[in-house]
């Protein structure tokens, strides 16, 4: 059994994701495990569709088993996002391969870039570039170009390659040695607003879905438009939360600091912004990226602490098909982390389980509050995992 792990958000699942799964199988994988973000995602907002629906869709379209990447890892920066996912894959004891989408499928080049990035992380040159006003990603890119040359710098400059590199770094850090299956991206680029050859980026599709446009040629299943989240729906939650927080409390949030905290308080004291986007743009500077600001705001709303990133993850099963059940049967005797579909059981697995389940409940409630319309929603403790006939 060659079990290939894929880290994903499927926000929403589209033809590019199907292509990656098919390619991984073509290159030798017999079973696919998708470690998928829960109800909050890395761009610092609620998932457009509930995680249980996304997991079901994935298992109907090529994935065999979907395990949740829990909050806080799912909405963290690339390094923590990747580390949480790799810990889950290694912890199951059954993942033998790792596949990821990227702009190059040259394994050697990616591995060299991973080593270069690791060496630069806390280097004097990167610190000096940040002091000069560059953002962290920009500083690392410039330092890589100066020390390792343009080819390596080009590899780390792509968002897709950035995540691939973080997966490799995280795997090495924890002694996880899967066989690597890089899949070169096809069609539209990451976050592209252009549709290409039947492919569209997830960000483009989210925009189309929220506008009520037809996405059928980009999504390989019959799409249900019910239950769509809207990022602006959480503006009132965000503004109220940060008005009630002190500058010190804001500065203590993950990825925050005194400078950002002061800007947030000053901006809100001038009056409420018209939108979240206006709020974000009012906070953005040369060395504080838009993505970092979105995450800090989400951390404040959800109550995420720096210590939450040190929690050891569990593996919550969201959906599985017949082959997924084969993976679970193998993991039963090999897993070294708690693995279950039951959130109650996972909550009882220890101190880390209690805190992760608490954040899981909070983030799921948050996603429901961001829906365009809702009346009620079931408890996360009562939702069973889905067995899919594929």
Mean pLDDT of the chain: 90
Cβ atoms of 352 and 89 closer than 8 Å: no
Helix, strand, coil percentages in the chain from 3-state DSSP, rounded to 5: 50, 15, 35
Exposed (0-12), middle (13-18) or buried (19+): which is 51, by Cβ within 10 Å?
Answer: buried
Cβ atoms of 299 and 363 closer than 8 Å: no
Neighbours of 111 (CB within 10 A): 15
Query: Worst-scoring range by mean pLDDT, 91-100, 230-239, 326-335?
Result: 230-239
Report the largest interatomic distance among the alpha carbons of the chain, rounded to a whole angstrom.
60
pLDDT of the residue at 245: 97
Instruction: Tell me the Cα Rg of the chain.
Output: 20
Tokens standing for residue 8: 């994903």
Q: Under CATH, which number does the domain 3-103+178-228+308-387 receive? A: 3.40.50.620
First to last CA, the chain: 19
Q: Is 4 helix (H, G, I), strand (E, B) or coil?
A: strand
pLDDT of the residue at 126: 82
Tokens standing for residue 2: 């060659």
- Residues 386 and 266: their CA atoms lie apart, in Å, by 47
Q: Tell me: pLDDT of 273 over 60.
A: yes
Residue 132 DSSP code = T
Q: Where are the domains of the chain?
A: 3-103+178-228+308-387, 110-157, 231-307
Query: Worst-scoring range by mean pLDDT, 19-23, 84-88, 280-284, 343-347?
Result: 280-284
Q: Tell me: pLDDT of 171 over 90.
A: yes
Cα dihedral 290, 295, 301, 302, rounded to 10, equals 170
Sign of CA dihedral 270, 271, 272, 277: negative
Residue 214 DSSP code = -
pLDDT tens for each residue of 353-376: 999 999 999 999 999 999 988 767
- Residues 297 and 87: their CA atoms lie apart, in Å, by 26
Q: Pick the more confident residue, 139 or 341.
A: 341
Q: b or e along 211-228 (b: 16 or more beta carbons within 10 Å of the residue's beta carbon)?
A: eeeebeebbbeebeeebb
pLDDT of the residue at 97: 98
pLDDT tens for each residue of 277-296: 999 999 988 778 889 999 99
Cβ atoms of 263 and 250 closer than 8 Å: no
Tokens standing for residue 182: 């890089």
DSSP 141-193: HHHHHHHH-HHHHHHHHSHHHHHHHHHHHHHHHTT--PEEEEEE--SSPTT-S
Strands 339-340 and 315-320: parallel
Residue position matching structure tokens 């607003």: 193
- Residues 79 and 102: their CA atoms lie apart, in Å, by 16
Q: Is 102 helix (H, G, I), strand (E, B) or coil?
A: strand
Cβ atoms of 33 and 6 closer than 8 Å: yes
- Residues 107 and 170: their CA atoms lie apart, in Å, by 16
Q: Residue 76: which pLDDT band, with cuts at 50, 70 and 90?
A: very high
DSSP 352-385: HHHHHHHHHHHHHHHHHHTBSS-S----TTTPPP
Q: Tell me: pLDDT of 225 over 80.
A: no
Q: Tell me: pLDDT of 132 over 90.
A: no
């Amino acid at each position: 059994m060659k079990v290939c792990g894929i880290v994903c958000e499927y926000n929403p699942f589209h033809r590019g994701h199907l292509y990656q799964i098919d390619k991984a199988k073509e290159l030798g994988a017999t079973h696919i495990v998708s470690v998928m973000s829960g109800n909050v995602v890395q761009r610092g907002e609620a998932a457009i569709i509930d995680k249980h629906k996304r997991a079901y869709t994935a298992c109907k379209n090529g994935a065999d088993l979907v395990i949740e990447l829990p909050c806080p890892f799912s909405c963290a920066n690339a390094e923590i996002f990747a580390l949480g996912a790799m810990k889950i894959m290694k912890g199951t004891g059954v993942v033998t391969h790792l596949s990821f989408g990227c702009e190059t499928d040259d394994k050697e080049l990616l591995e060299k870039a991973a080593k270069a990035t690791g060496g630069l992380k806390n280097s004097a040159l990167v610190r000096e570039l940040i002091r000069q006003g560059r953002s962290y990603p920009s500083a690392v890119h410039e330092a890589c170009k100066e020390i390792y040359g343009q080819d390596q710098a080009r590899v780390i400059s792509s968002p897709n390659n950035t995540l691939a590199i973080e997966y490799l770094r995280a795997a090495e850090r924890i002694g996880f040695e899967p066989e690597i299956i890089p899949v070169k991206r096809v069609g539209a680029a990451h976050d592209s607003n252009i549709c290409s050859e039947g492919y569209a980026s997830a960000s483009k599709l989210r925009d189309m879905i929220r506008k009520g446009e037809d996405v059928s040629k980009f999504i390989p299943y019959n799409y249900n438009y019910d239950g769509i989240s809207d990022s602006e729906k959480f503006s009132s939650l965000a503004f109220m939360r940060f008005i009630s927080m002190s500058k010190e409390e804001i500065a203590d949030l993950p990825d925050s600091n005194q400078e950002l905290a002061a800007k947030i308080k000053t901006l809100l004291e001038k009056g409420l912004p018209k939108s979240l986007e206006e709020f974000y743009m009012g906070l953005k500077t040369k060395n504080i990226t838009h993505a970092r600001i979105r995450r800090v705001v989400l951390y404040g709303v959800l109550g995420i602490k720096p210590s939450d990133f040190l929690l050891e993850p569990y593996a919550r099963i969201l959906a599985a098909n017949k082959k997924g059940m084969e993976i679970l049967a193998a993991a039963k005797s090999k897993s070294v982390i708690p693995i279950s579909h039951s959130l109650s059981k996972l909550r009882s697995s220890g101190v880390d389980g209690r805190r992760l389940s608490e954040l899981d409940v909070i983030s799921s409630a948050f996603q429901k509050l961001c829906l365009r319309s809702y009346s009620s929603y079931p408890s996360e403790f009562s939702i069973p995992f889905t067995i899919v006939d594929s």
